[in-house]
Structure 1
Amino acid sequence: MARYTTLYTSALIAGLTAALFGYSVGFIGGIIVLPSFLEHFSLSALSPSARASTQAQIITSWLVGALFGVPLGMPFCSRFGRKGCLVLAGGLYVLGAGMQLLDFGGIGGFEVGRVLNGLGVGVGTLGGPMYISEISPPSERGMLMSGYQTILQLSALAGFWGAYASHSTFPDSSALQWQLPTGIQLIPGLLLLVGTLFIPETPGFLAGKGREEEAERSLVRLRGVKGEEWMVAGEMQEIRDAARVSALVKERKESFGTELLKRGVRQRLVVGVGLMIAQNMVGLNALNYYAPVIFMSAGFTSVSSSLFLTGVFGVVKLLSAIAFMFVFVKIRGNRFWLLLGSSLCAVCMLILAYFVHRIPPANQLGEAKLTAGGVISVLTVYVFAFSFSVSLGPISWNVCSEIFPLHINAKCCAITTCTQWLFQIVIAYITPHLLTTIGWGTYLLYALFCLLIALFVFFSVPETRNVPLGREMDALFDDEKDIDEEEEMEEETETTLLLKHGQRERRGSLGVYT
């Protein structure tokens, strides 16, 4: 595997877009409650409701920025390449982090920085997975794409424990208490910007722009076969074929709406959008929001022990993501893990519904005692974390990045990624209200969603593991009419190229004799 050094390095650098995502999620919850932050931005003087509203705005502004960052990144991916998209993501993220640190305009300036931060994350969630998918050979694609989720979980964990450690290390009077965790955002952003300078553009994008020699050099570099170019001849031919079909489609000036009328494209969007919705509807945010209370009601009544167990929740997600990346992804296909994971999540939600139903009122949590049921509930939260992290967590991103045709890949990925962010906003908004109004019934509702997700996977999601991009991926979704049309376009392309070659030869001959 030494020859894949460039491949792994490139995937790691593109995977830093997940670090932008994960750290931003992980650190902000701890930062906005730090005494130094509240004092510096005069939030401590506000009423509890006004302070809660401002804190919610800080989180929501980032989510909205991420949502709009996806369509912002789409033209960059299509025109300037996947590398251009990564540069834009890193630049916006660093600019946003800088605004948060330099304190322009008080809390309003901090929120503007969060919006820019979110825009960068949104752009990154579009470009990062696309880049990794397009540079990966089928045998390595599952592992490398799963690395995206692993980096996300690792950086989220770093954000959570970073805020926790900062609170423990610095006094409440020190601005460093909130500035240090905020400033750490610059590290993955700058690493992404610098690292992008040293990685190749994806061969598929270069071939699609007619730069076939550059595409071949990029592929040779990624596969580590310099001097043995014959080893990638077959893969390069597949890339050329896909690029030629894409070019012919563009010459026909078929709109994206026309593409959507094709049964195969519609099927792929149903799968991609469905998986992104499922990733949010499985109920992870309900546990993220309520885990400390569950742990306290289980008998771990001190705030420190509750927060510690919440941190372990993040550790379990990280270790599960690593296990999936290096072990589970090679054992069985995507469908198996999606079905198993969603089913286990449903069982966990049913157990938690029963347990949460028995949680004492908030003013009695200090009286809760450690019981066998409490221990089971804590373990159930961790089993849920494992189930999510080996199924919908990584696989949703994996599938969406690999199933779409080259010529509409950026647009389709923009739709699925926007769906991810839109439903994050929806779930972040409705979960607290659900927990307030129907309480333990929230977990029953999420259990139902988990079962519906399992049915959706069983009937709608094909197996994509180890399937090469291009014709073989098309065959999973396209009906015979679409495949026949693609073959006709390829034949037409080859005929056109031969005619053009003949015209050039005739012009050359005339030039000799005249």
Structure 2
Amino acid sequence: MANEGSYRNLYLAAVVACLTGALFGYSVGFIGGILVLPSFLHHFRLDSLPPDSLASATSGTVTIWLVGALIGVPLGMPVCSRWRRRRCLSFCSTLYVLGTALQMVNVNGSLRVFDAGRLLNGVGVGAGTLVSPVYISEISPPSERGMLLSGYQTAVQLAALAGFWAAFAAHSILSNSSALQWQIPVAVQLLPGVLLLLGTIIISESPKFLAEKGLLLSAEDALSWLRALPKEHPDVLEEVEELREDSQALEMLDAPERSFFRELRDRSVRRRLSVGVGLMIAQNMVGLNALNYYAPTIFMSAGFTSVSSSLFLTGLFGVIKVLSATSFMFVFVRLRSNRFWLQFGSVVCGISMLVLTYCVRRMPAPGRHNPEASKLTADGIVSVLMVYIFAFAFGISLGPLSWNICSEIFPSHIKAKCCAITTCVQWLFQIVVAGVTPHLLASIGWATYLLYAGCCAVSLVWVLFYVPETKGVPLGRAMDDLFSQLGKAPQAECIEEVDETTGLLSRRQRSIGRRDSIGFPV
């Protein structure tokens, strides 16, 4: 599509949708900090508990949010698929704000009430992780889709960093005896939640969703607003005609009337699900959560033994993740294909884990009465660098691309259901990894990183032999053609290069022989 209009409305809609990533990131970033604030411990009478009971209580506060997010995905699915994408965004922001309010009005010092707010909070985040990538993929032209989808991961990392420093600043500035010390970081959650709720009033519905519901006039209005062009403009009319063709093809197949289990008989749908589920598993199993959990200990083992220096390095770890997400969004996503970055990330993350394994094995454990444990060593410095290199490589590969690819590969009429499955897998494995990693670190120590290096190798093989190139492929028939031809012999020599500059491919010139254009061995 010629860029005769302005993308201001498109970018505004994408920013609003990406606020669900801010809900996600801030909830992850601030909770670890407030759980150790003296004011929080005193208010909820946790400072009088024995260590085992305290660990159990704080672990429950963290875990119940993850459980809520897992529950939120299937709860959000019918809202997303039947009641419109925009309403699902309103649904998740409303739950998030209500959950935050429940945490704030807790005047009796009941941790159960606070955890109930965290649960509701998590449900809103889970629904948001389902609908936002779907909405962004459906409103974006192919030339902008990769960049705008990557904005979701950028929002996650920016908000996580803000959450970490919000708790840190509250501890540094406010008195330990003041309830504001923990209430202010909690209240900050209202900012992205309310902005998202207000933003859903402004933005348009997904034109693709409206067209498939038979609301072509509404789809035309939505496209006109998103592209900032009059409805009579040729580019708008072209997109509307493509939406009409897709909706008519869907009606001819009676796809909306078919059950989801009948849809799964389609080999193409099963292939897409396996790609999405595999990417979400890989995203969690390569080891980022292990570093998120153990980074402060690694830094202390490296010789940075003071709490302030360890916290500073942990904050820098968050900065690296923000830089990687931002640079991918604005630079790397346009340079090479999705498959290249997935392979690159798997290789670099695997090498980082191998080097980290070697260094951690040689470093003394923190807390030992050994003068060598508090000295900076080459192994310690290299281990810190490996943590940062891993974080950056992950942030330009599996971090954003797992979400991006899952949001664009599924047929629109079952996209909400399929994305619900892949998103549930993501949350489920996040819970598993968060629960298993501490036990692995306690039992096998440095070998934990060797295990994650092996997972990086499996991820590389998976991408090489199973994940096709989707960059620049328009949603609808072009994506259907891509997956329907996997595993079949090429039948045509006419190849059309698929990249970010392709724009909307002509329906009359699509080739079914895509081996060379996608770089995937069929």
- Aligned partners of 1:54 and 1:69: how far apart in 2? 23
* 1:227-376 equivalent positions in 2, closer than 5 A: 228-250=232-254, 253-364=257-368, 367-376=373-382
RMSD: 1.5
Aligned 8 A contact 2:73 2:424 in 1:
yes
Aligned 8 A contact 2:301 2:365 in 1:
no
For structure 2, list consecutive stretches of 5 or more residues without a partner in the other structure.
Answer: 489-522
Deviations 1:151-209 (A, max 9, x none): 11000000001100100001110101100000000000000000100000000111111
Aligned 8 A contact 2:363 2:380 in 1:
no
- Aligned partners of 2:251 and 2:100: how far apart in 1? 40
Q: Secondary structure at the match of 1:3?
A: coil
- Aligned partners of 1:85 and 1:298: how far apart in 2? 46
Q: Secondary structure at the match of 2:445?
A: coil
- Aligned partners of 1:234 and 1:161: how far apart in 2? 47
Which amino acid in structure 2 is aligned with residue 390 of structure 1?
A: I
Residue 442 of structure 2: aligned partner: 436
- With over 3 angstroms needed to count, the CA separation of the structure-2 counterparts of 1:194 and 1:129, relative to structure 1, is same
- Aligned partners of 1:431 and 1:268: how far apart in 2? 29
- Aligned partners of 1:463 and 1:3: how far apart in 2? 28
Residue 460 of structure 2: aligned partner: 454
Residue 66 of structure 1: aligned partner: 69
Which amino acid in structure 1 is aligned with residue 379 of structure 2?
A: G
Aligned 8 A contact 1:66 1:421 in 2:
yes
- Aligned partners of 1:450 and 1:80: how far apart in 2? 39
1:98 matched to 2:101? The reply is yes
Deviations 1:447-488 (A, max 9, x none): 000000000000111111111001111111114999xxxxxx
Deviations 1:124-144 (A, max 9, x none): 001111111100000000000
Which amino acid in structure 2 is aligned with residue 87 of structure 1?
A: S
- Aligned partners of 1:361 and 1:234: how far apart in 2? 64
Deviations 1:348-405 (A, max 9, x none): 0001111111231332277421122211111111100110000000000000000000
- With over 3 angstroms needed to count, the CA separation of the structure-2 counterparts of 1:41 and 1:248, relative to structure 1, is farther
Aligned to 1:22, which of 6, 21, 25?
25
Aligned 8 A contact 2:363 2:379 in 1:
no
- With over 3 angstroms needed to count, the CA separation of the structure-2 counterparts of 1:75 and 1:249, relative to structure 1, is farther
Aligned 8 A contact 2:282 2:459 in 1:
yes
Residue 125 of structure 1: aligned partner: 129
1:385 matched to 2:388? The reply is no
- With over 3 angstroms needed to count, the CA separation of the structure-2 counterparts of 1:252 and 1:420, relative to structure 1, is closer
Q: Secondary structure at the match of 2:354?
A: helix
Aligned to 2:90, which of 71, 87, 91?
87
Which amino acid in structure 2 is aligned with residue 376 of structure 1?
A: V
- Aligned partners of 2:261 and 2:474: how far apart in 1? 26
Which amino acid in structure 2 is aligned with residue 73 of structure 1?
A: G
Aligned 8 A contact 1:16 1:151 in 2:
yes
Aligned to 1:400, which of 406, 412, 415?
406
Paired positions, count? 482
Residue 41 of structure 2: aligned partner: 38
- Aligned partners of 1:362 and 1:391: how far apart in 2? 32
Residue 223 of structure 1: CA displacement?
1.1
Q: Normalising to structure 2: TM-score of the pair?
A: 0.90
For structure 1, list consecutive stretches of 5 or more residues without a partner in the other structure.
Answer: 483-514
Residue 152 of structure 1: aligned partner: 156
- Aligned partners of 2:232 and 2:326: how far apart in 1? 33
- With over 3 angstroms needed to count, the CA separation of the structure-2 counterparts of 1:36 and 1:405, relative to structure 1, is same
Residues 231-240 or 340-349, more deviating? 231-240
- Aligned partners of 1:201 and 1:249: how far apart in 2? 25
- Aligned partners of 2:150 and 2:238: how far apart in 1? 26
Residue 10 of structure 1: aligned partner: 13
- Aligned partners of 1:75 and 1:293: how far apart in 2? 43
Residue 494 of structure 2: aligned partner: none
Residue 418 of structure 2: aligned partner: 412
Aligned to 1:143, which of 144, 147, 153?
147
1:222 matched to 2:209? The reply is no
- Aligned partners of 1:252 and 1:370: how far apart in 2? 63
Which amino acid in structure 1 is aligned with residue 115 of structure 2?
A: E
Residue 234 of structure 1: CA displacement?
2.3
Residue 434 of structure 1: CA displacement?
0.5
Residue 249 of structure 1: CA displacement?
4.3
Q: Normalising to structure 1: TM-score of the pair?
A: 0.92
Residues 294-303 or 332-341, more deviating? 294-303
Aligned 8 A contact 1:163 1:181 in 2:
yes
Q: Secondary structure at the match of 1:354?
A: helix
Aligned 8 A contact 1:263 1:479 in 2:
no
Aligned 8 A contact 2:349 2:393 in 1:
yes
Q: Secondary structure at the match of 1:44?
A: coil
Residue 239 of structure 1: CA displacement?
1.5
- Aligned partners of 1:422 and 1:235: how far apart in 2? 38
Identity of aligned residues (%): 61
Normalized per residue, which structure has more helix?
Answer: 1
Which amino acid in structure 2 is aligned with residue 396 of structure 1?
A: S
- Aligned partners of 1:230 and 1:252: how far apart in 2? 30
Residue 504 of structure 2: aligned partner: none
Q: Secondary structure at the match of 2:441?
A: helix
